[in-house]
Amino acid sequence: MEELTIINKIQKALKEQYQQVGDSMISGGVDSMEKYKYMMGQAHAYYKISQDISSLLKKTEQNEKHGNSKIIKFGIAEDSEA
């Protein structure tokens, strides 16, 4: 379950970065429209990546429950004989 630990740490970091961008915007860290757009882009990217990871994890859980063996594992070839 080492993979899930890494994924959880990535999700936590993304949420923290998302929160930092929001806090900066609320506290007056935006002094131009360009900076506002840049920070909105950052926040959107952090949120989207976090949601995509969550979606992939849900699909993996559903596949495991249904016994599907078509799960991608990084670093392991699908047809390799170990």
All structural domains of the chain with their residue ranges: 18-59
H and E: helices and strands count for the chain: 2, 0
What does the alpha-carbon distance between residue 18 and residue 47 come to, in Å, rounded to a whole number? 7
More confident residue, 75 or 18: 18
Is the pTM value of this prediction over 0.75? no
More confident residue, 62 or 81: 62
Provide the token pair at 52: 């995509």
pLDDT tier, 82 (very low <50, low <70, confident <90, very high otherwise): very low
What does the alpha-carbon distance between residue 48 and residue 18 come to, in Å, rounded to a whole number? 10
What does the alpha-carbon distance between residue 20 and residue 70 come to, in Å, rounded to a whole number? 37
